A = this chain, B = another copy of it.
Amino acid sequence: MNNRAELRSLIETANQTVLKTFQDSRPVWFDVRPAIEALPGMTRDTILHAGPPIEWSRMCEPQRSGVICAALFEGLADSESEAVAKIEAGDICLAPCHEHGAVGGMAGITSASSALAMVRDEASGAVGCSQLYQGPRGQLRSRDDYDREAARQWRWLAEVLGPVLQAAVRASGGIDVKHITAKALQMGDECHNRNSAASALLLMEILPWALRARMDPASLRDSLAYLTGAEQFSLCVSMAAAKATADAASGVPHSTIVTTLSRNGTDFGIRVSGLGDTWFTAPANEVDGLLFSAEWNADDTVPDMGDSAIMETVGLGGHVQAAAPVLQQFVGGSFQRAVQLTEEMRQITVGALQDYRIPNLDFAPAPAATDIRHVVRTGTTPIIDTAIAHRKGGVIGAGQTRAPLDCFKKALRAFFDTYVPATEP
């Protein structure tokens, strides 16, 4: 009993440490670099994907197709069959973005030459990276699409947009992502499915620096025109920021706070601060939402996919649903429903972010730091705002889903396996 009380006390202290790391985090977008330069442990023959680790044979179709395209793009194989053979032989290495300091939206395919936004949490020094938003043109649908246009778009991101953003961001001395996030929450974004405000604010921040950079005028014009039309652009920067914050909060002994929520279209995986790098997985749920065209139906979709749930991990996205009632239009909800979801998230979190306020809740702070104990006790899992992927790849809708409860149950069991013996001699 005494040991139980002691453990509880250790947990509370550890969780407050994690919460404080979330609160104190000061993410600054400081660079754009190719993955091979940006990511620790990255190699030319590594291809990263979203979600927890997964064997090639269990990978969902869009992720497999993305990996093959990346192998072709990087010159690791000359044909689809050669790519598959090399993957199966282990000559092409697959690994989660999350295990290389990165996060990737949807399939999350990140290879050596992918241009990445790099964000540093100035409070902790932790760095998070994310592939640049690939735009509607980059919405890979199939191998044919790859041959037709995705390869061109990837090259453009690496060779045109990447260098323009690199020059602008470096010249700026760093873009304060926390400031933009706080403002965006007052402008109808929850910074996962809705990024209209943050994308505009980000563009306005970098514009003066981009104009001053010594860039080829056509590249500059193309890049800025692309950004003015890319309402979801800021998500890649927000995700990199959230990754830096979450990594800074990882590895705090005894903490029961979630530091990763992530999906690969097959499994949903979580990691917990006090349990280090261990993944706890369960089958990914389907996404409830709206498909953007009548040509598709539920059979065309894959389950929940992408590292973008890093936003919910740090208390944004679904956690601040009340800030973005517009998103309820995807799920036939209402303003009241949005408010209710944020209040629900308060039941499974241990604190709130004073810098991130929700005007529609009279400026109440965003609920943050999800505690696996609260999730298991209440049976309420994080609500995830997310896009919906076509099973051949590409974004075809948007909506909401839940993290599966089993991940949290497994993690809580492991937590007691890890910590209870140590406190009961």
Number of copies: 2
Q: How far is the CB of A161 from chain B (nearest CB, A)?
A: 15
B residues less than 8 Å from A361 (CB atoms): 335
Are A207 and B228 within 8 A (Cβ)?
A: yes
Complex Cα–Cα for A360 and B188 (A):
10
* Chain A residue total in the interface (Cβ 8 A): 32
Given that A187-B187, A188-B359, A335-B362 are known contacts, is A212 also in contact with B221, CB under 8 Å in the complex? Answer: yes
Q: How far is the CB of A176 from chain B (nearest CB, A)?
A: 14
- Is A43 engaged at the interface, CB distance under 8 Å to the other chain? no
Given that A197-B187, A197-B197 are known contacts, is A325 also in contact with B360, CB under 8 Å in the complex? Answer: yes
Candidates B200, B212, B220, B360; contact of A335 at CB < 8 Å:
B360
- Is A376 engaged at the interface, CB distance under 8 Å to the other chain? no
Complex Cα–Cα for A205 and B225 (A):
9
Are A183 and B196 within 8 A (Cβ)?
A: yes
Complex Cα–Cα for A422 and B197 (A):
54
Candidates B205, B224, B362; contact of A207 at CB < 8 Å:
B224
* Nearest neighbor of A327 in chain B, beta-carbon distance: B359
* Nearest neighbor of A337 in chain B, beta-carbon distance: B362
- Is A203 engaged at the interface, CB distance under 8 Å to the other chain? yes
Contact code string A327-371 (vs B, CB < 8 Å = 1, else 0): 001000011100000000000000000000001111100000000
B residues less than 8 Å from A183 (CB atoms): 196
B residues less than 8 Å from A207 (CB atoms): 207, 224-225, 228
Interface centre among A187, A205, A224 (most CB of B within 10 A): A187
Are B362 and A334 within 8 A (Cβ)?
A: yes
Complex Cα–Cα for A188 and B188 (A):
6
Complex Cα–Cα for A326 and B360 (A):
9
- Is A211 engaged at the interface, CB distance under 8 Å to the other chain? yes
B residues less than 8 Å from A220 (CB atoms): 211
- Is A186 engaged at the interface, CB distance under 8 Å to the other chain? yes
Complex Cα–Cα for A183 and B197 (A):
10
Complex Cα–Cα for A220 and B224 (A):
14
- Is A11 engaged at the interface, CB distance under 8 Å to the other chain? no
Contact code string A73-90 (vs B, CB < 8 Å = 1, else 0): 000000000000000000
| Interface residues, chain A, with chain B CB atoms under 8 Å away | 183, 186-189, 196-197, 200-201, 203-205, 207-208, 211-212, 220-221, 224-225, 228, 325-326, 329, 334-336, 359-363
Task: List 8 tightest A-B contacts by C-beta distance, closest first.
Answer: A200-B200, A325-B359, A204-B228, A187-B187, A187-B188, A208-B225, A335-B362, A211-B221
Q: List 19 A-B contacts (CB under 8 A).
A: A183-B196, A186-B188, A186-B326, A187-B187, A187-B188, A187-B197, A188-B359, A200-B200, A200-B201, A203-B204, A207-B207, A208-B221, A211-B224, A325-B360, A325-B362, A326-B359, A335-B359, A335-B360, A335-B362
- 7 new A-B contacts at CB < 8 Å, known A187-B189, A211-B220: A186-B188, A187-B197, A200-B200, A208-B228, A325-B360, A334-B362, A335-B360
